[in-house]
Chains A and B, each alone.
Chain A
Amino acid sequence: MKNVLGDKKSILILVGPALLVYTLVMLVPVIWSLGYTVFEGNAIVGFTFVGLDNFATMIGDTRVHDALWFTIRYAFVITIGQVLFGYALSLLYVFVLRRSSSIVRTLVFFPVVLPTVAVALMFQKMFEVAPQNGLVNELLNVVGIPSVDWFGSAGSAFLVIAVMDIWRSMGFYGVLLYAGLVDIPEETLESARLDGASGLKLVRHIVIPLSLPVLLSSIIFSINGTLKVFDSVLALTNGGPGTTTSPLTLYMFQTSFTYGEYGYGSTIALLLTILCLVVTVFIFRSSRRDLTKG
């Protein structure tokens, strides 16, 4: 085996096909898109070189500012929600339900495998106000609160998106973090208990530090996923009302494919890429410090 992997040719043969496919479907379009940032036009009318005009436009474009702010708000709220609820679920699996947690895990994980559009349609119906009240408004009416037009204002539409996306993905983070928690040696927990740690104290001083690597992976995973949110927002609110729930991805998509401005769309895509990169690097850097020794 060592001989095989020591030979550069065999490495090339083993890696080559996958690398070729990766290059064709990932790297080439990425570099292509990067090239588009200095052009204007689309596939129908052709392209003209505009230098850094797209970047100048982007700096002054209020829609980009709004979309960027929405993206950051969304990523922040959803990441906290997903990881927090996921962590709470994993603690529930490990410390409360223990061996009988499998059925609950399966049920909570179920929304993860449902198609986003189906989930979005379900939430649309649940929060509907016209032509007839959905489940949520009916419940509000029962307790004497008048119906709310959930998708009619930016704040309430954001709330519905947040509830849907957290509900949809917390099961996934629950399982991910559960895998990290079951790795904590029982002896360590036992000795902590003998030393008098229990409940929150045990979680704060033993469980969290020991599950930190997987917690961190979850945060990076979640924040990168949420910064690139597209399908759930598109299916649930289509960026509305107006453009108040439009993330960068949706604005990029509309700019490129509805307005036919491929160059400007690519410039927005570049902004998103840089944002993801900065956030990831920031989280990696801040995690270098070993909290267990702090």
Chain B
Amino acid sequence: MTTRHSRRRTLALVAGVGSAALLLSGCAGGGGGGGSSSPDEFSLLTNSENAELPAIFTALSEDACATENEALPFTSDSVPQTNLDQRLQLLAGQNALPVVYSAGNAPALTKTLDDSGNVLDFESTLTELDAIENIEPAAISTIEALYGGFKVLPFEYNIEGIWYNKTIFADNGVEVPETWDDLVAAAGTFDDAGVTPFSASGEQGWPITRLLGNYIFRTLGPDALQKVTDGDAKLTDPEYVEAAQAVADLGAEGYFGQGVGSIDYDTATNQFLNGSAAMFYMGSWALSDFNDAERNQVGLDNIGFMPFPNVEGGEGDSSQIAANVGLPATFNAKTYDSKVGDWLSCIADNYGSEALTSQGRVSGFKVNTPVDDLPALTQEVQERIATTEQAVLWFEALFSTKATTTSQTNAAQLVTGDITAEEFMELVQNDL
């Protein structure tokens, strides 16, 4: 009798422990689901390299969107770009994504987030809010080509190309290169003169693979990488490997300077802006750094822009400028409510002017309040955007997250000669 009694007590204890465990795990699940309800903050998560978006949002919250900010206060958080994909996946898994967040490094991740209902459809939402006309149609079409729908907002609309130091070019008697061969010859002249020809961040990797992508577009035409994605061509095909070889050759000559693998984004920018490098492949988002007089020691008038040059005999040409919407941000569909809608309307109305005024940033939002006295370089970019008839994407634009990471982490090795052009292309092709 006593044994039976104590067994029952033990059973009860085990049951108690079990239900406590269930209760605890239940609590954990419930906590995570909290993110799906109406938000109490207009929270923003960006990659920490993008200081601009939080700055412009802060400016809006204090001025044009002050009413919306009172109803739903703005807060911001950031994470290094290399950790962004991980953070987004973890937060999405816990249903805890903020109201606005930087889309992942690869559009593939944004598509995954969209499939699981974490991404707002701006086409219908902005139409409903009667604010869709505030977005440039060109920006919408670029977004649709990349994301399969209007899934992110064009907080920036960039063209990419090679920025060059006019004084260094003049001092060395170098004309702006029209072809790849001219570019290589120019780099040789600068190298001989003791100037680093190209400033590039091997730590980030993409500033190097951008050259590779552009070379492919120039030699094989604007649809070359679409063919790879569709399986009609392989990166290991000789004509694709040729592009990797061309970039590797620049590295082999030492045209990226010493320790390119350790150079981070800011260092690369500084190398160009303090006059120690002659050329800098970058998107027009770098204008905000160029316009920063404290950082730009070479002077704004001293910087010129050239599209990626032609490759002789290639199918593409330099009028097909690489364009993108940067690392864009999107809204969380699960936290969208009327207060977030008010914020979205206000952003659509005012972002274009605010970005241009305070940061010199050309965005995909219409400039509703005219901005005077724009720097000449910013105006030039605006004109180039307006006159570009066909834009191309970048090397990894259509790749999976895994192939994107592989490409960018191995780019430095390609130019330091630790892996060959064939090996590099094979690594990326394997992860597609």
Q: Which residues of A contact B (CB under 8 A)?
A: 8-9, 12, 16, 20, 23-24, 42-45, 124, 128-131, 147, 149, 151-154, 238-244, 253-254, 257-260
Contact = CB atoms under 8 A, between A and B. Distances in A.
A149 B92 CA distance: 39
A131 B89 contact: no
Q: Which of B17, B21, B89, B115 has the most CB of A within 10 A?
A: B89
Interface stretch (B297-305, B383-391, B404-412): B404-412
A241 B413 contact: yes
A27 to B, nearest CB: 11
B21 A44 contact: no
Contacts of B148: none
Q: Which of A9, A43, A130, A253 has the most CB of B within 10 A?
A: A130
A9 B416 CA distance: 67
Contact of A149 (B6, B270, B416): B416
Contacts of B247: none
Contacts of A9: 6, 9-10, 13
15 contacts: A9-B6, A9-B9, A24-B25, A43-B90, A43-B93, A151-B262, A241-B413, A242-B409, A242-B413, A242-B418, A244-B418, A253-B86, A257-B85, A259-B405, A260-B89
B272 to A, nearest CB: 12
Interface residues on B, range: 35 or more
Interface of B: 6, 9-10, 13, 17, 20-21, 24-25, 82, 85-86, 89-90, 92-94, 109, 112-113, 115-116, 118, 257-263, 267, 270-271, 400-402, 405-406, 409-410, 412-413, 416, 418-419, 427
Contacts of B402: 258-259
Contacts of B259: 128-130, 149, 151-152
Contact of B267 (A131, A147, A152): A131
A44 B112 contact: yes
Contact of B262 (A16, A130, A244): A130
Given A24-B25, A130-B258, A257 B86 contact: yes
B95 to A, nearest CB: 9
B416 A153 contact: yes
A57 B21 CA distance: 35
B418 A154 contact: yes
Contacts, number: 113
A9 B3 CA distance: 12
Given A16-B13, A257-B90, 7 more contacts: A43-B92, A44-B116, A244-B418, A254-B405, A258-B402, A260-B109, A260-B401
A29 B280 CA distance: 47
A42 B93 contact: yes
A42 to B, nearest CB: 6
A244 B258 CA distance: 20
A131 B418 contact: no
Contact of A130 (B94, B267, B400): B267
A253 B82 CA distance: 13
B94 A43 contact: yes
B116 A151 contact: no
A75 to B, nearest CB: 23
Given A44-B89, A44-B113, A153-B416, A239 B262 contact: no
A16 B262 CA distance: 51
A120 to B, nearest CB: 13
A20 B20 contact: yes
Nearest to B84: A258
Contacts of B6: 9
In the A-B complex, the 5 residue pairs with the closest CB atoms: A43-B93, A130-B259, A129-B259, A257-B86, A242-B410
Nearest to B9: A9
A9 B2 CA distance: 13
A149 B89 contact: no
Contacts of B118: 44
A152 B415 CA distance: 10
A283 B406 CA distance: 37
Nearest to B427: A242
A12 B90 CA distance: 36
B2 to A, nearest CB: 12
B261 A149 contact: yes
Given A9-B9, A130-B263, A151-B261, A241 B93 contact: no
B13 A12 contact: yes
B418 A12 contact: no
A257 B89 contact: yes
Q: Which of A8, A43, A153 has the most CB of B within 10 A?
A: A43
A102 to B, nearest CB: 39
